[in-house]
Structures are given as C-alpha cells and as structure tokens.
Amino acid sequence: MMPIAHVIARRRHLQRRQDASLRVKNTPYTTPPRVGLYDISTSEPLHPKGCVVQLDVNDRQTTYHIRMSYRVTAGSSPFAFFFPVNDCGQVAKITVMINDIPMSGEMIRRSRRDPSRLISAQNRGEFLKTDSDEEDEREQAGQHKKGGRSSGGSASGMREPTVFYFYVPGASLVVFGPAGPKKDSPVIVQVTVITTTLVDTKDHLYRAVFPLTCVPCPPASVSAEISMPKLVRRVTTPNSNVRIQQFLNNTKAEVALERSQPASSPAGGEATPLIRLEDFLLVIQVELGSVIEPECMDPVSMLVLVVALSLAVFFALTNDLDYYE
C-alpha cells in the first residue's frame, strides 16, 4: 500500500493536470466571437481560404502575426472586418492591413444580453455601461436558485462573456472603392497584436498564450521565434493534439507545431486540422536554464602565460640574429 502522503501528492498532481487541460480546452462562449471579414448586408462571414500564425516571443512581450486569405467575386457586397481583443490579455498595440493597406478602426462591444447587438466606443455611455448585463445576471442567478431559468441564458445560468472588437466598418471601401471589386480578387488580411508574455516564477516558465478565437479557421501552420535572456532549455505545449518541433540555439529557439498523430482524411473529406478551434487556447511554454559561460583564467596563470610567450618571442628573435652573424 502506498503511503498516504504519496496518495495525496499523486491526486494533487492529477488534479493539476486536469485543471491545465480544462484551461486549454474549455471555451466560455456559447456564441463564438466574430473574427475576419463579414458581409455587411447579411452579417455572414466570408469563407476564408486559409490562415497562418507566426509568434515572436521574448521575456516581456508576445507578438501575434496572423495572416488570413480570402477571395471575393466581382460585384460582391461590401465587407467589414472584426477582430476580438478581449482574450489577447494586456494588448499594447494592434495593427491591421488589408492587401498591404493600413486600416483605421474603432473599438466596439458586443452586448452580453443580445450578442447580435454591437455598441460603438464613440457612444461612450452605452459602451461603458454594463449595469443592465449585471442586473440580468443577478436576476438570472435568483431564478436559478429557485429552480427556474430564463430563456436567454445558458444551462449553467451564466450570460455570455463581454466581447470587445477592433472593428473596420469600411474595409472593402478602402480596398476596392465605392464600386467594389470589378473582378475576382484575393484579399489578404494581416493582423499584428503585441501583448504580454506570462511568467510563472514558481515553475520558471514563460508562457505565450494565443487565443484561437483570433483566427477564422484552423491555421495551416503555427510557428514561433523565441528570444530569451537565458538559455532556452525546452519548449513544450499542454495542447494534447499537437507537439513541438524545436531548434534550440542558446538563448534563442525556432519552433513549429506539428500533429501528434498523422493527418487523417476521410474519403472525399478534408484532412484533420492542425489545431482544433474548440481548444480555445494555444499555449507555448518556454523553460529556461543557465547560460554556460567560459571559465576565466586567474591572474597568476595569465601572468605565467604572458611571460612564457614573451620569452619564446625573445629567443626566436635572438636566434635569427645569430644566424645573420
């Protein structure tokens, strides 16, 4: 029989693993946030052709470089651009370019009571007002205690989380002008987000967290360039369906995600995506060690070496003089 202390430690270890798995896999959204290009007339998303994610990670900041590709047809309806920022942590900067044209946008908020309602930051009072949402939650919590449930809530009695977007309403106008696209055209959206790298001082880990709500489709590739102040010892991920392919070079590392299992493709269907968007978060963990520094020679040894070299040079020069005499 195992000692009781070992049993307790094992249970705590398994619980920590389960909690980490829940943090990676569980999504708080019943209605997923909008991301990418949306048709203004129908409010439906445009179908993306692909997506690529590149991360730049250091000990202070993580930068997301997201590239989304679309194709629009001639005479298609105007489109707008949405990008959810609330899951990105402490955002320091966000830039958006469409077909290499910088985009100016605004912040909007999705109503928690009605996810289809969008509130502009220009309407400061409504944008910052969340009392109605809180009252809804208090009312719903009271009904939940009595055994009732309002029709607009989830089974757990909780409302949708607040979602904030970087919003470009006239994206198609900037790219194609008032007449819209005159022929089938590619549309490339490039988003750069600078956020904070998470530090776990207890486990000596740095964590780069990428929310999968920031991509309109499973990315075809995910790579990262890592630069740290100390030796990068190991790069891992708690996401269960991918593994890290890494090239370590002292304080730097280049990594790429690959499937933990070979891609499977049913007859006539699409191959298994690299990452499941249902995982909600992609986490890359960087473990550091100590940089191996060369040992310096002590002063006495340095003096002996200098004297020996000086004598060798002296005798070599004097031998040359004797030869000429």
Residue 113's pLDDT is 75
What range defines the domain where residue 99 resides? 4-112+161-289
Is 262 part of any domain? Answer: yes
Closest CA to 218 of 261, 271, 276: 276
Residue 74's pLDDT is 87
Residue 145's pLDDT is 52
Closest CA to 100 of 188, 180, 183: 188
DSSP state letters, 206-252: EEEEEEGGG-SS--SEEEEEEE-SSEEEEEE---TTEEEEEEEETTE
Is 127 part of any domain? Answer: no
Quote the DSSP letter at residue 79.
E
As a whole number of angstroms, the distance between CA 296 and CA 76 comes to: 69
Whether the CB-CB separation of 238 and 286 falls below 8 Å is answered with: no
Is 103 part of any domain? Answer: yes
Is 105 part of any domain? Answer: yes
First to last CA, the chain: 93
Residue 298's pLDDT is 64
User: What total of structural domains would you count in the chain?
Assistant: 1
Type of residue numbered 25: K
What pTM, to 2 d.p., does this model score?
A: 0.72
Residue whose structure tokens are 């473990």 = 287
Is 168 part of any domain? Answer: yes
Residue 110 pairs in a beta bridge with 118, 163
Which distant-in-sequence residues (6+ apart) come within 8 Å of 241 by Cβ?
259, 260, 261, 275, 276, 279
Residue 53's pLDDT is 95
The token duo for 167 is: 């919003």
Whether the CB-CB separation of 138 and 197 falls below 8 Å is answered with: no
Residue 161's pLDDT is 73
Whether the CB-CB separation of 226 and 253 falls below 8 Å is answered with: yes
Is 227 part of any domain? Answer: yes
Mean pLDDT by 10 residues, the chain (325 residues): 42 42 56 90 92 94 96 90 90 93 90 78 74 50 49 48 88 86 91 91 83 92 93 88 88 87 53 76 87 57 80 73 51
The token duo for 261 is: 């299992």
Question: Listing from the earlier edge strand, what are the strands of the sheet with 198-200?
Answer: 198-200, 205-211, 281-289, 231-236
Residue 310's pLDDT is 83
Whether the CB-CB separation of 209 and 224 falls below 8 Å is answered with: no
DSSP state letters, 32-76: PPP-EEEETTT-PBPPPSEEEEEEEE-SSEEEEEEEEEEEE-TTP
Residue 18 sits at the vertex; the CA angle it makes with 16 and 23, to the nearest 5 degrees, is 95
As a whole number of angstroms, the distance between CA 183 and CA 180 comes to: 9
Is 321 part of any domain? Answer: no
H or E stretch at 139: helix 131-145
CATH number at residue 248: 2.60.40
Burial of 121 (0-12, 13-18, 19+ CB in 10 A): middle
Is 317 part of any domain? Answer: no
